[in-house]
Structure formats: C-alpha cells, structure tokens
Amino acid sequence: MRLWASVLLAGLASDAAAATTTVLSRAAPNNNSTLDECPGYKASNVQTTDSGLTAELSLAGAACNVYGDDLKDLILQVTYETDNRLHVKIQDAGNQVYQVPESVFARSAATSAASASHLHFAHTASPFSFTVSRRDTGEVLFDTSAAALVFETQYLRLRTALPADPYLYGLGEHSDPFRLNTTAYIRTLWNQDSFGIPNGANLYGAHPFYLEQRDKGAHGVLLLNSNGMDIMIDQDDAGKQYLEYNTLGGVLDFYFFAGPGPVDVARQYGALAGTPAMQPYWGLGYHNCRYGYQDAFEVAEVVQNYSAAGIPLETMWTDIDYMDRRRVFSLDPQRFSLDKMRALVSHLHERDQHYVVMVDPAVAYQDYPPLHRGIEQNAFLLRANGSAWIGVVWPGVTVFPDWFAETVDGYWTSEFKLFFDKDAGLDIDALWIDMNEPSNFPCNFPCDDPYAAAKGYPPPAPAVREPPRTLPG
C-alpha cells in the first residue's frame, strides 16, 4: 500500500506549532472572497469515445491570480477503466505541472465500456463542472458545481457538494475520530514526525482517499496528488454541506470507486493502489518493544523473563538504543557489542523466536564509514551551492539520503547488506523503518545553524556494566 510523501524536505512541520499548520489560513476571508471571484473554466472540443471523453478547458474570464497565475488552458480526460472505477483527470495543457511519477504509482491502462460502468460522468460546459453518479439509480456522488474550479501555479481548488450530515472516513493519517467531523473541519495532508500523536494534527503519512457511506451504498474517491493540501469539510452560508480540496500544486487526478459496499470500495481501491504486504505468520504473535534499554544484557533479561513467566514471546524488538551514539548502521561497542548481539539473536533463533531493530534514514555527519560511502556515491541531499544539506536528528548533525538521486538505491541497499549480514553482522528477521517522513529536530527548516541546534544530541549514554546475573542459556 502506498504512503504518500507530501513533503520531501527535511525539517518542515517538525515542531508543535507546525502540527496545526494548514495550507490556507483558517482566518483568511479576504483571500477566500477573492477566490470566489475566480471565473472558472469553460469546456470545448469535447471528444467522446466508448470508454470516456476528452475536452479542452479554457479560463472563462479575467484571471484572479490569487496564488500565482491562473493557467489559461487545461485538458480534461475521462476514462472508464473498469466497471467499478472511473478516472477523471484535469491537468495543464502543456503537461509541465508536476504529477506523481508512474514509477511511484503505476497507472492502469485498462479501459471499459462506459455503458457497462456502474458510474456515470456528466459535465456542464460553462462554467465547467462535472458530476459522478450511479448509473442505475442516478444518485449523485460527486458534484463540483458547488464552486468554480481554480487552477493556478501555486494553488488548486475543487469543491464537491455532499449530503447533509455525511458519513465520511479516511483522509489519513490522523488521530481524529474514525468518522470525520463535518463542520469547520480541515484535514491537512503534510507529513511530519508526530511524536506523541498529537490530536487534530497532520501525522506521518498522507492518504488522499476517502470513503463515504450512504443509505444506498458506499463509494470512494482518491485524489492522486502528492502536494501539501488542506481538505476542508464544512457548510457554506446557505447551510449546504461540501468537501473542498485546496492543494499547493500538482493536477486534479481523481479516481472514483463504485462500491457499493465499504469492503467493495476497499478492494477496488486496493486493485489500483496496491494492497498491504502479506505479513509473516510470526508477525501475528506476541511482540515486545520499548525505547530505553540500557544494554544487551537488559534485552536478554527481558527475553528470559518471558520464558520464566511462561509467556510465549514471538519477537523481541530493540529501538535505537543499540546504535553507537545513535548513528545508523552501527553498534554501541560497550553496551551492544557485535558478539553479544549475535549471541542474543542466536539464542532467539534457536528457539524459533525473532528479532527486529530500528533503522533511521538520517546519517550522522561524523567520521564513520556509512557517511564516507554516501558522500563518495553522491547519495545525500545537497544545498543549492552543492554542499551537504545538514540537519539535526538523534546522533546530532546529520545528512539525509536523497531518494531521487540515481545512486541512492545502491548506497542504501549496500549499507543494509553490510550491517545486517547474517554471517558476519546483525542477523535480524525484520526491520523497523522509522522516520521515513521528514524529521529534523530541533532545527526547523531551513536549519541554518545545525551545530548550535545539535547541543544535547546524541543524549548521554547509560552506564556500562557487566552482566548483572547469569541467564540460563
């Protein structure tokens, strides 16, 4: 299952204040009033096929240019991909605006006859709007006539009408109620390291998908857009319910799923986006994990205590305590030495138990081999002047892998193979991939003085000790 990367720069939205950051101010009536004056678009040159249609959209009046410039010419593409899935895409005519790459989210080439679809697309030419409805009942599921389409260089807006008191779910990742609030509610998709899982905040992942349950069935809507966005759910001055997308860029790339049941919607979404990886059978057993183990002896004692208590421990986990000064791809030589760790893991494996450790993507900007190899392979994020983009994470000053660099996959894979070599390294069964969302603390973007911000990192190491007692085995 794909997890959207709404933000690709380390350090964004990393403090408590940023936890409530929204793309649009909650108190911005002047801008909203200006947006309401935007002319929208008009459709022309509509070409219909058995499996959909295309059209040209042109700005219907004077540009409002609220957040950048209004794009004058757009393209509409509508494709009935399966009997239960409809694809509606609005993009710039010049095909220059960023879209989620196919290497990240594979597109389907499937088509289906419009007449066989459970969904029906209809549009109004001027001002342009469209509806998606159920073919058999005519029930309207999505209706963009609620407000004019805005498509600018730094901002997109599209609003759909909703029934009163709708039952909406999704738009993760968040800690809000399972059924989303429907008045004065803003769901921000802007990934951040959300320690403590703050309420009402944008969290680690972005899933711009929602499911709506109605009396006559459920349906789903995906907006394939990885830009930061606010999705607003509220009522207008007339009391009409709506859901409104406000994004910082990209295109309006929608997929509609017909259901009609919530399980059907989930399966149809999974058929497009991919399903979660099948978990190993041992992943369903009892696991133990926490932050703050003093050394390998304490981890071994925990394992032994489960056996002594007759509790079947399937898997033992270790947080970043095992690292040398919190540096990824390293072992603390005094507290979690390689010989002790290999003995611990062998003890677990001999008893058909398993072991998992954490890995952080920030690489310490310090004199050790993983940094040197990354620099040699040009695998890290760089500033505009070509220097390393330095931030602050657990080990202190750090650099970050550039996941768009041609060499980064080879570098990262090689580090895993070296450190977790089952014959000479740490022989684990699975990895805890932590902080794959932007995390840079306590040095908020643009982090101009990381060395000053790194005071206190890494945290002081616990005392070194000999084995506190003999453990069986």
| CATH number of the domain bearing residue 159 | 2.60.40.1760
For residues 368 and 252, membership in a common domain is answered with no
Q: Which pLDDT score is estimated for 380?
A: 97
DSSP string across 431-445 = EEE---S----S--T
> Looking at the domain assignment, is residue 472 inside a domain?
no
Residue 95 has pLDDT above 50, yes or no: yes
**Torsion (CA) 19, 320, 308, 341 in degrees, nearest 10:** 160
The amino acid that residue 450 corresponds to is: P
Instruction: Lowest mean pLDDT of 16-20, 215-219, 247-251, 431-435, name the range.
Output: 16-20
* Nearest of 117, 144, 114, 146 to residue 130 by alpha carbon: 144
**Range in 80-84, 190-194, 280-284 with the lowest mean pLDDT:** 190-194
In the listed set 228, 243, 273, which residue is the last one of a domain according to the structure?
273
- Given a cut of 70, whether residue 196 has pLDDT beyond it is yes
pLDDT of res. 9 = 28
Percent of the chain clearing pLDDT 70 (strictly above): 92
**Whether pLDDT at 171 is above 50:** yes
Give the confidence band of 435 by pLDDT, cuts at 50, 70, 90: confident
**pLDDT tens, position by position, 384-426:** 999 999 999 999 999 999 998 999 999 999 999 999 999 999 9
- Domain match, 199 and 312 both: no
Residues 230 and 319 in one domain: no
Q: What are phi and psi of 408, to 5 degrees?
A: -70, -40
State the total domains in the chain: 2
Q: Identify the CATH number of the domain in which residue 334 sits.
A: 3.20.20.80
Asked if residue 13 has pLDDT above 90, the reply is no
- The single-letter DSSP state of residue 251 is -
Residue 409: helix, strand or coil by DSSP?
Answer: helix
How far is the C-alpha of 379 from the C-alpha of 395, rounded, in Å?
Answer: 19
Q: Are 203 and 100 part of one and the same domain?
A: yes
Q: Quick one: 315 and 447 in the same domain?
A: yes
Q: Residue 463 and residue 110: Cα distance in Å, rounded? A: 61
Same domain, 311 and 257: no
The pLDDT of residue 174 is above 90: yes
Residues 127, 84, single domain; the answer is yes
Same domain, 106 and 217: yes
* In-domain check, residue 383: yes
Collect all residues with Cβ–Cβ distance below 8 Å to 287 and sequence separation of at least 6.
313, 314, 315, 316, 317, 356
- Across residues 117-146, what is the average pLDDT? 98
Domain for residue 13, yes or no? no
Residue 465 lies in a domain: no
Indicate whether 392 and 264 sit together in one domain. Answer: no
Which of 273, 295, 330 is the last residue in one of the domains?
Answer: 273
Q: What's residue 36's pLDDT?
A: 87
Other CB atoms within a 10 A radius of the CB of residue 140 amount to: 16
Any domain includes 243? yes
User: Given the structure tokens 């305590």, which residue do they identify?
Assistant: 321
Is the pLDDT at 97 greater than 50? The verdict is yes
Q: Are 256 and 88 in contact (CB under 8 A)?
A: yes
pLDDT of residue 472: 67
| Predicted local confidence at residue 29, as pLDDT | 39
Would you tell me the crossing angle of helices 408-419 and 369-376 to the nearest 10 degrees? 160
Which of the pair, 29 or 230, is modelled with greater confidence? 230
Q: Is 247 exposed, middle or buried (0-12, 13-18, 19+ CB in 10 A)?
A: buried
Q: What is the pLDDT of residue 31?
A: 56
In this model, does residue 191 exceed pLDDT 90?
no
Say what percent of the chain tops pLDDT 90. Answer: 82
pLDDT at site 438: 66
Helices (H), 198-295: 262-273
The chain-wide mean pLDDT, for the chain, equals 91
Sign of CA dihedral 58, 60, 61, 64: negative
290 and 204, same structural domain? no
Q: Which domain holds residue 120?
A: 33-273
Q: What does the pLDDT read at residue 5?
A: 38
What average pLDDT does range 283-307 have in this prediction?
A: 96
User: Which one-letter DSSP state was computed for residue 180?
Assistant: P
Question: Does residue 93 contact residue 75 with C-beta atoms inside 8 Å?
Answer: yes
Asked whether residue 244 falls in the same domain as residue 295, the answer is no
Largest CA distance in the chain: 82
Judge whether 470 lies within some domain.
no
Domain boundary among 234, 253, 273: 273
Is residue 432, in this structure, part of any structural domain at all? yes
CA atoms within 13 A on the CB side of 62: 4
Token pair of 377 as six digits: 């392979």
How does 76-113 read in b/e, with b if 16+ C-beta sit within 10 Å? bebbbbbebbbbbbbbbeeeebebbeeeebeeeeeebe
pLDDT tens readout for residues 311-356: 999 999 999 999 999 999 999 999 999 999 999 999 999 999 999 9
Does the bond joining 260 to the residue before it have cis omega, within 30 degrees of 0?
A: yes
Give 229-271 pLDDT, tens digit per residue.
999 999 999 999 999 999 999 999 999 999 999 999 999 999 9
Dihedral over alpha carbons 282, 287, 292, 293 (to 10 degrees) = -70
| Confidence band, pLDDT 50/70/90 cuts, at residue 446 | confident
DSSP annotation of 376 reads H
- Both 297 and 265 in a single domain? no
Q: What is the mean pLDDT of residues 351-369?
A: 96
Kindly report whether the global pTM for this prediction surpasses the value 0.75. Answer: yes
> Of 411, 402, 451, which Cα lies nearest the Cα of 10?
402
* Residue 11 resides in a domain: no
Of the ranges 199-208, 254-263, 285-294, which one carries the lowest mean pLDDT score?
A: 199-208
